[in-house]
Structure 1
Amino acid sequence: MTQPIQKEINNGVATLTLNRPEVFNSFNREMALLLQAQLDVCEKDENVRAIILTGNGKAFCAGQDLKEVTDPELNPGFKKILEEHYNPIITKIRAIEKPIIAAVNGVAAGAGANIALACDIVIAHEKVSFIQAFSKIGLIPDSAGTFFLPRLIGFGKASALMMLGDKVTATEAEKLGMIYRVTSIDDFENEVATVANTLAQMPTKALGLTKRLLNESMSSTLEQQLNLEGKLQIEASETKDFAEGVNAFVEKRKPNFKGK
C-alpha cells in the first residue's frame, strides 16, 4: 500500500514527501497524522541534521482534501482538523530545532501554502504559485497564515492576498520576501539539494538555537530578546561544534561540524 508520506534519509538530510499526487497532495487525516509522526522521528534522530518537505507530482500541496470534509462518514469536523491536523504540524515545524526547507515543487494553496511559509527556508521553481485560497470557499486562513504572512510581506499586502485570493507567482513571492529563492525548473532539485546538504554540514545546535531565538522574537521585547541571546550564546559556546569552528579558523581549514 502506498504511504501518503514518503521518507528518505541521505547524508544527514531527511526528505519528507507528501504523496497523494492524484489529489494534488491535499491533506486527509491519515496524511496529516503521518506527517506529524515523521516529523517527530526526524526531530529525535541525531543522524538527521536538515529536513526537506516537498510534494510528489505536479503540486506541493493543495491544502485540505474537501472530499473528506464533505463526506458525512469521513468528515472529522473543522475543530478536529485544526486542533489535531494542521496546528500540530505548524507547531512541530517551528519547534524542531533543525532547519526545515520547503521545496515547493508545484502549486501551494490554502493550508499547503501556509505550511510552506512556516518552514525556515522556502525554495520554489518559476512555475509555482502560492494561493491563499480560503476566501474562495467562504473560509478564513488557517495553519498560521495570519501569523506568518503579515510578518513576511507586511500587513496590507497580506490582507489583500487573503481577502482576494490572488495567485502569487514564485517570482513575485521572492520579490515580496515571502520566500527565500526562486529557481528555474531545471535547477530546482539541485538548488534544494545544495542548500539542504550545506545545512546538514553546519553546526546543527547553533542553527537550532537561532531558530528558537527567531521564534521568541515574534513576541519578545528588546530587553527580553537581548537576555535570551546572551543565555543561548553561552549554550552555543559550550558545544563541540563551537570548539571545532574556532580550531578550524585558527588552523585555516574547513570545519568538520558534527551537529553536537
Structure 2
Amino acid sequence: MTFETEYVTIVDGVLQITIATSANGTSMDFAGINAGTAALQKLDSEVGAVLLTGTGANFCAGGNVRGFAAAEDRAAHIHALATDLHEFVVALDETVVPVVAGVQGWAAGAGMSLVCLADIALGGPSTKLRPAYPGIGLSPDGGMSWTLPRIVGAGRAREILLTDAVLDADAAVRLGILSRLVADEDVRTEALNLARTLSAGPRSTYASIKSLLAQSNSATLSDQLDYERDAIAAAANGKTGREGVDAFVEKRKPNYT
C-alpha cells in the first residue's frame, strides 16, 4: 500500500484511518480524510476491515470553526471542505468490508456523521454525541440528514437535529447510534481488536451482508427474499461458503484466511 501515511496504516488486515488529532482541538483533520478517501478508493486486497479513530481526547469534535471564521470566502471554504468530506463518505459507504468506529470522548458535527456511517461503533461511558450544527448556524453535512433518520427514525432525528441534542453514551446505545460501550480507556483497543476479528472472518459473507442491508432500504420484501436466495446460493459454491460448511461438519474452526 504505497500511500500509507501517518493518517492511514494497515495493521493485521485493518485499514486504520485517523480522522482527527489533538491539533486544532480534535477538529476534523482533512489530511486524514483525504488520505482515507485515497485508501478506500484503492482498497488493498489484504484489508478485511476499516477502523475510524481519533488520536486525541475526542473521536472528532467536528469542523474547525476557527478556520471557518478566518476564511476570506466562508461559503467557498466550507463548500470545498464538504466536497472532500463527502468524497470520503461515499468511499466509506461503498467499501465492502466492515467499518468500525472507536468513539472516545466527543463525536460532534461531522464527527457524529461519521459515527452514523460505521457498521459497528464502540464508545465508552464518557462518550457524547451532538449534531452541533444549529449551535453555529449551519446545516448538517457528512450524510447525517440521510443516516440519522434511518438509525433512529424520522421523528427522533428531527428532534435531535433541531434541538441540537447532546446524547450521552447510554442514550446513543439505546438509539442504536453506538453499538455498545466498553471502558473509556479501552475504546481504541477494543475497536481495533474487533476490527482485527472481523478482518480474519468470512469476508465475502460480510460483503454480502452489507449489500443485502443496503438493498433493503428500497426493496420490497418479495425482492429482498429473491436477493437473499440468490446470495446464499452463490455463497454455497464459493470458497468461503464451502470452507464454513465443511468446517462445521468436520467439527473444526473454519479458516477463512
Within a 5 Å distance, the mapping from 1:135-154 to structure 2 comes to 135-154=134-153
Report how far residue 4 of structure 1 moved: 8.4
> Given the superposition, is the C-alpha separation of residues 210 and 57 from structure 1 closer, same or farther in structure 2, using an over 3 Å criterion?
same
SS at match of 2:26: coil
Q: After superposing the two structures, state which structure 1 stretch, 161-170 or 7-16, moved more.
A: 7-16
Match of 2:79 in 1: 79
Tell me, yes or no, if the aligned pair for 1:18 and 1:25 is still in contact at 8 Å: no
Match of 1:253 in 2: 252
Tell me, yes or no, if the aligned pair for 2:18 and 2:32 is still in contact at 8 Å: no
Report how far residue 74 of structure 1 moved: 7.9
Give the total of aligned pairs: 253
Equivalent position amino acid for 1:79 in 2: H
Report how far residue 230 of structure 1 moved: 2.6
SS at match of 1:219: coil
Report how far residue 38 of structure 1 moved: 2.5
> Given the superposition, is the C-alpha separation of residues 56 and 249 from structure 1 closer, same or farther in structure 2, using an over 3 Å criterion?
same
Q: Distance in 2 between matches of 1:79 and 1:231?
A: 42
Match of 1:177 in 2: 176
Q: After superposing the two structures, state which structure 1 stretch, 235-244 or 132-141, moved more.
A: 235-244
Tell me, yes or no, if the aligned pair for 2:107 and 2:129 is still in contact at 8 Å: yes
Report how far residue 96 of structure 1 moved: 0.3
Tell me, yes or no, if the aligned pair for 1:4 and 1:20 is still in contact at 8 Å: no
Is there any run of 5+ residues in structure 2 with no aligned partner, and where? none
Match of 1:226 in 2: 225
Q: Distance in 2 between matches of 1:28 and 1:73?
A: 20
Equivalent position amino acid for 2:211 in 1: R
Tell me, yes or no, if the aligned pair for 2:52 and 2:102 is still in contact at 8 Å: yes
> Given the superposition, is the C-alpha separation of residues 4 and 112 from structure 1 closer, same or farther in structure 2, using an over 3 Å criterion?
farther
Tell me, yes or no, if the aligned pair for 2:20 and 2:27 is still in contact at 8 Å: no
Within a 5 Å distance, the mapping from 1:121-200 to structure 2 comes to 121-200=120-199
Match of 2:14 in 1: 13
Report how far residue 71 of structure 1 moved: 3.1
1:38-60, Cα deviation, whole Å (9 max, x unpaired): 3224x2x1111111110011111
What is the TM-score of this pair, normalised by structure 1?
0.89
Equivalent position amino acid for 1:77 in 2: H
The percent of aligned pairs where both chains have the same amino acid is 30
1:137-161, Cα deviation, whole Å (9 max, x unpaired): 1122221111111221222221111
Tell me, yes or no, if the aligned pair for 2:85 and 2:142 is still in contact at 8 Å: yes
Q: After superposing the two structures, state which structure 1 stretch, 6-15 or 98-107, moved more.
A: 6-15
Match of 1:40 in 2: 41
> Given the superposition, is the C-alpha separation of residues 30 and 57 from structure 1 closer, same or farther in structure 2, using an over 3 Å criterion?
closer
Tell me, yes or no, if the aligned pair for 2:20 and 2:59 is still in contact at 8 Å: no
Report how far residue 168 of structure 1 moved: 0.6
Tell me, yes or no, if the aligned pair for 1:209 and 1:232 is still in contact at 8 Å: yes
Tell me, yes or no, if the aligned pair for 2:106 and 2:129 is still in contact at 8 Å: yes
SS at match of 2:59: strand
Report how far residue 111 of structure 1 moved: 0.8
Equivalent position amino acid for 2:81 in 1: I
Tell me, yes or no, if the aligned pair for 1:68 and 1:74 is still in contact at 8 Å: no
Match of 1:210 in 2: 209
Is there any run of 5+ residues in structure 1 with no aligned partner, and where? none
Q: Distance in 2 between matches of 1:245 and 1:21?
A: 43
Match of 2:23 in 1: 22
